[in-house]
Amino acid sequence: MTQQKRPTIGVVGALFERKGAAPISGIGRTYLEAIEAGGGIPLLIHLTDDQAVLDTHYRHCDGLLFCGGGDIAPKHYGHPPHPLLGPVEELRDEVELTLARRAVADHKPVLAICRGIQLINVALGGTLYQDISDELPGTLDHRASSKSGDRAYLAHTLELDSASWLAEQLGTTTIAVNTLHHQALRDVAPGLRVVGCAPDGIIEAVEGTGDTFIVGVQCHPEELWRSAETRWARLFTGFIAHVAA
């Protein structure tokens, strides 16, 4: 990619509360470093209700990355709140849902990680399990990496469809993943297809079926590509290469 312009990838930020001070707008630098290592230039899109600002950010992006974070308000997929629903960020929901739908309509490539895979599913009309352990008893502990204290802890495998872009890109149909989530895809949205599941059947990877390139994973590959499972680096290089093509 040295002979061509490095694509700009919009990365939607989050708000981090601070005691006695204004919140910080930002995102974990592991996402930004993964985009840079993959050949892209990350552009942080801060949360704002100023549509003109968002429009300017969006126009400068060749692709979008939706990252991990808190729960999505269930009103966005027509369900009442579950008692174990975590904190929601209304502004982040609104900004990301708007950008996701716009990107799909404009055929702008999308990479979605953790909350991101849930976000793109909701944006396109899908629904979520609001708490896996309560709604699907007997499944794996999908917070195992969080509880271990090591975000890169490889807790289970991801089984991929051999015909998927992900399997081709990663060079395997079985790959180890970390797991740091308590929600999961329930009804998969039109325009998405399931390409990977955990051993317990929880949906953990999707790809787009239409003209827009979409790939979503439930794990956190930005925590894995350096050492824990280096094949995940191919997700970022492959995504950036597709954006640049």
Q: Which domains does the chain have, with CATH numbers?
A: 8-244 (3.40.50.880)
Q: Please, are residues 27 and 60 in contact by the beta-carbon 8 Å criterion?
A: no
Q: What is the signed CA dihedral for 213, 219, 224, 230, rounded to 10 degrees? A: -50
Catalytic-role residue among 114, 156, 182, 207? 114
Is 67 noted as a catalytic residue in this protein? Answer: no
Tokens describing residue 160: 């991929």
Kindly give the residue spans of alpha helices, DSSP state H, lying in the chain.
29-37, 51-59, 90-106, 115-123, 132-135, 144-148, 165-170, 233-244
The list of the chain residues with pLDDT below 50 reads 1-2
Q: What tokens appear for 35 in the block? A: 């985009």
Distance CA 36, CA 79 (A): 38
- The DSSP symbol for 73 reads P
pLDDT given for residue 17 in this prediction:
86
pLDDT score, position 1? 42
pLDDT at 39: 98
Task: Judge whether 121 and 101 are in contact, CB under 8 Å.
Answer: no
Give residue 61's pLDDT.
Answer: 98
In the residue annotation, 222 being an active-site residue is answered as yes
Which residue among 207, 222, 223, 229 is the active-site one?
222
Helix (H) or strand (E) holding 174: strand 174-177
Give the CA distances from residue 2 to residues 5, 46, 60, 84, 120, in Å, rounded to whole numbers and listed in that order: 8, 29, 20, 48, 31
> Which of 156, 204, 220, 223 does the annotation list as catalytic?
220
Q: What is the pLDDT of residue 43?
A: 98
